[in-house]
């Protein structure tokens, strides 16, 4: 990138001070930061803005270094920008905490082509875009190759290192300690893990990691409460009993009171997401889903018949809907 181009990109004049350059950069970086701007070109634009800022600050930087060696007292340090990123966690990690990995991607100007996206050669070379055919495939069509103007050879070829984008993506894996009790939308702040200062000196910005929940096949979250469906035999719902209920931190016992054979919720207080800061611990909210028997045995058939006989006169209480139906459509009949 040339100085004039960098000035134009940042919208600053020839006599711009380092302060004005940084101010212009910060303003544009806010608009084009890939964490804020979802446009596909945001990555590249941000990298170009960073490169422009570096380039324009360079003369001041070397002057300052000279000044410093003369009088090392006048230190002016800049701060890097904060960085926002999502981190996806399992519900078990929200409950228990532990270590998680955050992958940080950074776009830097490509060193091979200095951000140009192309490389100049002494003599013509096979076009890297069309491999010498002069045409490139776009879906079903073969189009004229614009890199070499259809000649197949060119002195200026697309940079292989950055595939013509002018930038290189570097990845950094950061191991993060997750405290127990975080919830989706919470933010973890990691000091100094944000962007490096534009001048290369001073401290880096902070990293704000926003928690996201990885979907789970069994559990869902409602604030600090963990919800799940637990199929239960209709006989346990009717007669009561003790069942085992899964939770992200291991199985729990649940006593079921005798009740109706319809779906109902029973909670286990404190078995949701654990307390953190001012936030209280959540509940494990178990929706009991009745399951009817699908087969029988001669012995069970005998039992069911006895049961039905025993229900007898109490039918209106035990099966109110059935009783109402029969009274309307088969009144006076004996079931």
Binding site for Zn ion (CB under 5 A): 110, 112-113, 127, 129-130, 145, 147-148, 159, 161-162
Burial of 171 (0-12, 13-18, 19+ CB in 10 A): exposed
Q: For 110-200, where are the E strands, in sequence order?
A: 118-126, 135-138, 141-144, 153-158, 167-178, 187-190
Q: Pick from 159, 157, 151, 156: which is nearest to 132 by CA?
A: 151
CB of 145 to Zn ion, least distance (A): 3
The 3-state DSSP class for residue 133 equals coil
Q: 3-state SS of the chain: helix, strand, coil percent to 5?
A: 30, 30, 40
Give alpha helix (H) positions in the chain: 3-10, 18-32, 42-70, 91-96, 234-239, 298-311, 315-318, 320-329
Of 112 and 229, which has the nearer Cβ to Zn ion?
112
Q: How many CB atoms lie within 10 A of CB 301?
A: 10
CB of 224 to Zn ion, least distance (A): 49
Of 124 and 249, which has the nearer Cβ to Zn ion?
124
Of 35 and 112, which has the nearer Cβ to Zn ion?
112
Report the Cα 136 to chain-centroid distance in Å. Answer: 36
CB of 220 to Zn ion, least distance (A): 46
Which is it for strands 207-213 and 83-89: parallel, antiparallel or unpaired? parallel
CB of 57 to Zn ion, least distance (A): 22
CB of 168 to Zn ion, least distance (A): 7
Q: Is 252:196 a contact under the CB 8 Å cutoff?
A: no
Of 9 and 213, which has the nearer Cβ to Zn ion?
9
CB of 143 to Zn ion, least distance (A): 10
Of 83 and 158, which has the nearer Cβ to Zn ion?
158
For 46, 53, 212, 227, the CA distances from 102, given in Å and listed in that order, are 21, 28, 12, 27
CB of 11 to Zn ion, least distance (A): 25
Of 161 and 323, which has the nearer Cβ to Zn ion?
161
Q: Is 100:87 a contact under the CB 8 Å cutoff?
A: yes
Of 155 and 305, which has the nearer Cβ to Zn ion?
155
């Amino acid at each position: 990138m040339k100085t004039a181009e960098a000035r134009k990109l940042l919208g600053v004049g020839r006599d711009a001070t380092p302060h004005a350059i940084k101010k212009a950069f910060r303003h544009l970086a806010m608009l084009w930061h890939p964490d804020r701007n979802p446009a596909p070109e945001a990555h590249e634009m941000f990298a170009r803005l960073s490169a422009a800022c570096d380039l324009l600050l360079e003369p001041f930087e070397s002057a300052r270094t000279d000044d410093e060696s003369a009088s090392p007292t006048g230190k002016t340090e800049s701060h890097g920008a904060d960085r926002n990123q999502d981190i996806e966690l399992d519900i078990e990690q929200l409950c228990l905490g532990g270590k998680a990995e955050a992958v940080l991607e950074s776009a830097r100007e490509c060193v091979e082509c200095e951000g140009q996206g192309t490389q100049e050669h002494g003599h013509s070379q096979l076009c890297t875009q069309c491999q010498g055919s002069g045409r490139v495939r776009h879906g079903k069509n073969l189009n004229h190759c614009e890199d070499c103007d259809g000649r197949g050879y060119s002195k200026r070829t697309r940079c292989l290192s950055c595939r013509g984008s002018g930038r290189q993506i570097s990845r950094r894996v950061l191991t993060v300690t997750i405290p127990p009790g975080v919830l989706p939308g919470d933010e973890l702040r990691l000091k100094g893990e944000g962007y490096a200062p534009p001048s290369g000196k001073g401290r880096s910005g902070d990293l704000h990691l926003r928690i996201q929940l990885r979907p789970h096949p069994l559990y869902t979250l409602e604030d600090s409460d963990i919800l799940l469906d637990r199929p239960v035999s209709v006989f346990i719902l009717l007669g009561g009993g003790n069942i085992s209920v899964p939770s992200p931190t291991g199985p729990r016992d649940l006593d079921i009171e005798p009740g109706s054979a319809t779906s109902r919720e029973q909670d286990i207080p404190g078995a949701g997401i654990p307390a953190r800061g001012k936030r209280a611990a959540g509940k494990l909210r178990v929706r009991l889903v009745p399951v009817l028997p699908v087969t029988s045995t001669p012995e069970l058939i005998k039992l069911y018949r006895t049961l039905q006989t025993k229900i007898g006169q109490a039918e209106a209480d035990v099966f109110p809907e059935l009783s109402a139906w029969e009274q309307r459509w088969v009144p006076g009949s004996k079931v």
